[in-house]
Amino acid sequence: MNKLRVAIVGFGNVAKEALAAVRSAPDMEAAGIVLRDPAKVEAVWRETGLPVALDVSELGPVDGAVLAIASRAIPAVAPRYLERGIHTVDSFDIHGDAAMELRRDLDAVGKAHGSVAVICAGWDPGTDSVVRALLECIAPRGITYTNFGPGMSMGHTVAVKAIEGVKDALSLTLPKGTGLHKRHVYVELADGADFETVRGRILGDPYFCHDETYVFPCDDVERLLDLGHGVHMERKGVSACSHNQRMEFSMTVMNPAATAQVMVSALRAAARQEPGCYTMLEIPPLDYLSGEREALLHRLT
């Protein structure tokens, strides 16, 4: 079996878990790490024992890349890999129009260069999207409530950290029920930063401006850090002519590990698709799994 040679792009919490997932996959091998900051190269090399590069071309042949970077960086970074014929997977977590625009743009690049992108491949959007579709398959009419947390939102935390005046930050998602949420943002200020100014920037950011958001000053964000998260989905609807059909899906996870594992599974699936761009909803579930297809069908049917 030819193993997929995988590059890990970035080396934050998700990237480290993605590397562990690749190393444990029987059909993959780690080609190396790609970083933006040359100052971090030696430390990451010492930690991983893998080649660490500033450009993927320095890693030799690479089949796929796990883009463990901020969602807002994906539209600019993903095409660089797809243009080289390298499959990509990301955990782009901006729902709605932004995700569909990314899908359209990367689809054109992938088809032009014989490569595949799988976008929004985390657990929401991602596996939760697939579960929502299955619940709707069972009860086509009705309402699904997706309740997140309590837990750390990685995408929102990264967004806050990028705001001027922020030294460190943590964004927590707290469920209110029936699909409604509020956000608690803890901010460690950079030297000389004004809290009210920073607070205004956070509340005006697209990640937060549509949510009930509270911002708190904090002297040490690190002491608050817990990477756990979770989701509880509930659907009440109609199957055929029968009303009051109720179903639930729930999980509690270590957020970076779950996200990374889904991304690595989606990269396996990417290598099995025709060129273009896909969300997880568009890919057959068996394509995410390692193993012989008939054996998987026999075990899971």
Model confidence over 197-213: pLDDT tens digits?
A: 999 999 999 999 989 99
pLDDT at 1 over 80: no
pLDDT (0 to 100) of residue 96: 83
First to last CA, the chain: 25
Binding site for NADP(+): residue ranges? 91-93, 121-125
At 27 the three-state DSSP class reads: coil
231 vs 249: CA distance, rounded Å: 8
Q: Which residues pair with 123 in a beta bridge?
A: 126
Provide, rounded to the nearest whole percent, the portion of the chain with pLDDT above 90. 97
> What is the amino acid identity at position 253?
V
- Residue 132 confidence class, pLDDT cut points 50, 70, 90: very high
What average pLDDT does range 134-146 have in this prediction?
98
- Tell me if residue 125 falls in helix, strand or coil: coil
pLDDT of residue 73: 96
- What Cα–Cα distance (Å) separates residue 147 from each residue in 2, 184, 257? 41, 16, 20
Residue 37 DSSP label:
-
Amino acid identity of residue 93, one-letter, is: D
> How many C-alpha atoms does 245 have within 13 Å on its Cβ side?
17
Binding site as annotated, residues:
91-93, 121-125, 173, 183, 229, 255
Q: Give CA–CA dist 235/247, Å, rounded.
A: 5
Q: With cut-offs at 50, 70 and 90, classify the pLDDT of residue 94.
A: confident
